[in-house]
Structure 1
């Protein structure tokens, strides 16, 4: 996730990506907006939005939770990773705290594996407001992670609380 956070420092180095526009999510109770490129095929989820890099090497999702459903959303995040064969190495766990677009950003990251080999895994918690957080799930093949990090940084740079 340190690479994940470093991607935020690469913000908008180039503007070659065509963004799909802002997604406000979740649909039933908008709490945040984010821009994900069309070629990442963004789709709505139960709690937010997700996308995959064109090379299928990097996955990112944004889920919204409040005090009443935070435990369920976190459970769903880890169940999703498990269902997709993503296994974290507990010994590699690292935690950090930073700022993203003026919001507190706590991260936990791991090295791990999936069906295709070594991966980087990250879960971030971003304080959108006193009532809502965004949970960012990041999973990337170590083979393609470096080439997708600039795009991840651009995506993260667009995350804002909904107005």
Structure 2
């Protein structure tokens, strides 16, 4: 996860070989945009958008919350991870803070496991405005994380408040 944290701090923007779609989310009250490659099969969720790497080894999602529903969205994120058999090791937790595209962010990350073995888990909060935040959920297998981190960096670098 240290690679993920460093990536969210530095965020490299480079050309991508796969086509990426720009998504404004959530659909009912747009708060942010993000670019996710088509081969990550991005789909809408209740609060945002999610995608999986073509090798199915890396998952990333973006959910929008306001002050009134932030706690519920965070509860839903951790319930989602639990439902998918993703278990963080609490002793491995790390935290970081920084700025991305002029927006403050904070991340928590862990090493852990899922049904297939070792994983890296990350939950980040990006401040879009005084009223809205984006919650980023990241989970990657130890086998595929290094391969997929360049694309993850591009996805993370693309998040912006909706216009």
- TM-based fold match above 0.5: yes
Whether contact under 8 Å (1:10, 1:150) holds in the other structure is: no
Cα deviation for residue 4 of structure 1 reads 1.5
The aligned residue for residue 7 of structure 2 is 7
The aligned residue for residue 31 of structure 2 is 31
The aligned residue for residue 20 of structure 2 is 19
The aligned residue for residue 76 of structure 1 is 76
TM-score after normalising by structure 2: 0.96
Cα deviation for residue 12 of structure 1 reads 2.8
The aligned residue for residue 44 of structure 2 is 44
Cα deviation for residue 111 of structure 1 reads 0.3
* Mapping of residues 129-140 of structure 1, within 5 Å: 129-140=129-140
CA deviation map 1:88-139 (0-9, x unaligned): 0000000110111111110000000000000000000000000000000000
RMSD of the TM alignment (CA)?
1.1
Specify the SS of the correspondent of 2:119: strand
- Distance in 2 (alpha carbons) for counterparts of 1:74 and 1:85: 17
Structure 2: any 5+ residue segments left out of the alignment? none
- More displaced, 83-92 or 11-20? 11-20
Structure 1: any 5+ residue segments left out of the alignment? none
Cα deviation for residue 10 of structure 1 reads 5.2
